[in-house]
Structure formats: structure tokens, C-alpha cells
Amino acid sequence: MCGIVGIVDAGGVSFSLYYALFALQHRGQESAGISTYDGSRFYKYKGQGLVAEVFDEDILEFLDGNVGVGHVRYPTTGGNLPENVQPFNFRFKNHFFAIAHNGNLINARALREEFERKGEIFSTTTDTELIASAIVDEFRRSENIIDAIVHCMRILRGSYSVVLMLDGTLYAFRDPVGIKPLCIGKTVSGYIVASESVAIDALSGELIRDVRPGELIQIDESGMNSIQLAISAHMAHCIFEFIYFARADSVIEGKLVYDVRRRIGEHLHDEAPVKGDMVSPVPDSGTSIAIGYAHYSRIPYLEGLMKNRYMGRTFIKSSQQERENAVKIKLNPIKEHIKDKSVVLVDDSIVRGTTSGHIVELMKEAGAAEVHVRIGSPQIIAPCYLGVDMPTREELIASSRPVEEVRQRIAATSLHHISLPALIESIGLDMKDLCVGCLTGMYPVQIEGEVCSPRIVDIAGGTYQTELESFERSHGSKNK
């Protein structure tokens, strides 16, 4: 669930890219990178670690130019290796090319084998390099970047939101069903495309809208243009963005994530009320859900766990042992709040169950009389192939176990997951426009060995549906 950003700004982009990546740090904590272009020269810098660890003022001053792309990485395809740090940068036929990607390709192995048969050499183990190869392979023949991106969309299977810099022009596009988020914003002297609207907020910009599934956005010094390349019967927005991954203050597909999670908490109380002394979140992703539960139930909201704010997300640690060790130093129980209390403990999800078990144990060791666990997602019963590091069915605690057995394993007094209909109602989108593969085992793209309901209707041939931005017209801009 990486974070990507692309900016075109007459005042320079390096510091803006840095602040935008900082706002997207929750989407990836293993590496960060920025590439810029000043009209004649390519600049790039990337490294492993958090944004603030990779960059400093001198580096940002070096990254000159008015167009650039940035990336924070959470690995799915490809390991945590230095060569996999994005953006990826190329030079060919006197063109400068940089690309960053959020998502996961289902057919990555088949594409790699096909390109290798043609003599292609790869320097990374990521599917982002495959996207670059698909684009460059066609661009080499046609010298038309739009044709190259259309070709790319035709052969890719899976999820992808992409920012691409070709010389002084920024391109951004989403897969035809829009699994991964991507939005457009207007800054004082330019434009920004980013995974979440919080990156736009960080630059005091104005959110225009989401990039539409199958849409290509083109931005250069003269303005912004939109081309619809693919059309689908229904979308497939990742439901986990609303439950966990997105920052609560982000707006995704027109929905404020905080309000979605607050409504999830209200539905949780409707479905499984309990007489508790306090409602406590598992911070931070459970916080807004717990606030909704507390408000609706009129049970006092009181934090029972204090989070070490300098710890990353335990869910995206690369091994189970790392996750378990991280929980011990990430969360500290507030014993004075918990002792002898009946606690309603609210969290976003249960994946493997070991972390939930450790948290319940922490609460009981701190003196809680009862721990009633309420979860803001239905049981996760199937792996995710599209960009969230959900493990195999064997590792998923709810895949083959009823709720009561899971309750016993995590030693909770009671356990309830929100129902899927209540979750859909909380989000406010049609279920047909959401990817619920991990919750139902039904996927929106063709995956070998899985039950699928593909949604793509058409990817353009030689003609494209073009739409000039109404935002530009309404603001009286002279930009195209």
C-alpha cells in the first residue's frame, strides 16, 4: 500500500514532494525517494528508512526542477532491497523517465518471463519495473506516450496507481477499476497528484477530485488535461482503505474516512451492544471507530492503551516475530483507567490473531475485569493479491474458524465483527464498486484458482474520450 505523489509547480517541487511524502508516511515505512527534472537535467535521491531519515535540507536543495515524483514504499511484490526503492529512473532516446507505483500485479511473473524471453534485463524484483518496461517497450515503437500507457493497461492485470514523469510532463493513471486511491489537487502555482488528499492538505492545496479509474491525467507547465482510456461496468475500490490504511482525515471517493469509521463504530454497537464501563480504542486506526461506538452507546470513551508515537505500524512489519516484538513497545496499558473495569476494546481488524491476543493479554494484566473486543471489519477469510500483505488462508485466523473459536484463542470476554452489510452502509458506496476479496473470497479481477467477478468493459483502441477539467473552467484559468 505504498504512497505516491507527483507535482508540477512553477516554484520548484522538491520541498513540496518532501512534505507530501511526509503526509503519506503511514502508507509505507521501508524506503522513500524523489526524482525531479529542471528542463535539461534529471535529479534523484532515494534510500531506505523514513522520509525524515532519507532527506535533509541540502538534499532537497539539490533536487532542482519544477516537475517531480515521489514514493514511500510498503513491499508486496519484491523484497526490502536497496534496488527496489522507488522512483525508478531511466534515460532512453534522449528522454528522462521516472516512475512510481502503488499496487500489485497478478500477472507479474508471466510478464517478467515474457520480457526476459525478448532479452529484457531487470535490475529489481518489483512489479513497478514491469510497468515501466511495458510503457517503454511500446513508446520505443510509437514515440507516443498515450499509446504506450494504453498498451500498458491492456497487458497489466491487478491493481495500480501510477505517477510517471517524462521529461517536463507529469502523467498519472489508475487501473480500470480503481483499486488503489489517487486524487488531484491544485496548489498556488501548480498541481499535485497523490495517493491521498492529506498530501494536498500538507501543501495548503485544494482537492479537485479523485483520478477516475482508467483515466490518464497529463500535467505540464501549461496546465492539466484528462483522457479516459478505460471504462468498467463497476469499480473495485479497496475496502481496506476505509477500514485501516488511509489516514482518517483523508477524503477517498468523496468520503471522509473519519466519518466512515465513526459510522462503523455506531453499527458495531447496534449489532453487539454490551454493558461496559469504558470504550477504549487500539490506537490509532481503531480510534475513530471507538469514538463512534462510545458516542452511540453513551459509554464513556477513555483510552486504555497509550501508543508510542515513534513506532511504525505493526501490521506492515515484514515478519510475525517483528510484529509481536513491536506490540510490546508500541502499546502501554494505562492501569489506572483499566483496573477492575469492563472494557469495550475497539480495533479495525483481526488478521493472524496473535497481535489481538497480545493486546487482550496486556489489558488483563493491567487489571481489566472484562475485555469485550469489537472489530471494525468482517472476518478476513481470504488473502489479498492486490496490494495488502494479507497472508495465506492457513495463517488467517478467521479463514477456517468460527468467531467463538477465535474469541477463545485471543482470550476475549466477547468478540464481534461488524457485518458486511453494515460496513458497506457505513462507507456509503455500492458493494459492486468495492473490492471485498479478503472478506468474501470473491475478487474483482481474474486470479487463478479464485472466484472472480471481473469488471473491465473496454480499454480504448486508437481514439480516446477526452475531458477538459471543469475545475479549470470554473476558476477561469487559461490553462488547457
Q: Please say whether the dihedral angle defined by the alpha carbons of residues 42, 47, 50 and 54, taken in this order, is positive or negative.
A: negative
* 256: amino acid identity, one letter: L
Residue found by looking up cell 490509532 in the block: 284
Helix (H) or strand (E) holding 255: strand 255-256
- Helix/strand/coil percent split, the chain, to 5: 35, 30, 40
Catalytic residue among 2, 152, 183, 435: 2
Q: Do 169 and 219 form a contact (C-beta atoms < 8 A)? A: yes
Helix (H) or strand (E) holding 130: helix 127-142
Q: How far apart (Å, rounded) are the C-alpha atoms in residues 429 and 419?
A: 15
Q: Do 286 and 348 form a contact (C-beta atoms < 8 A)? A: yes
The alpha helices in 2-103, defined as continuous H runs, are 14-23, 51-54, 57-62
DSSP string, 437-464: HHHHSEESS--TTSEE---EEEE--S--
- Cis-peptide into 259, omega within 30 deg: no
SS3 state at 466: strand
Whether 2 is catalytic is: yes
Q: Which residues pair with 43 in a beta bridge?
A: 36
| Active centre residues (catalytic) | 2
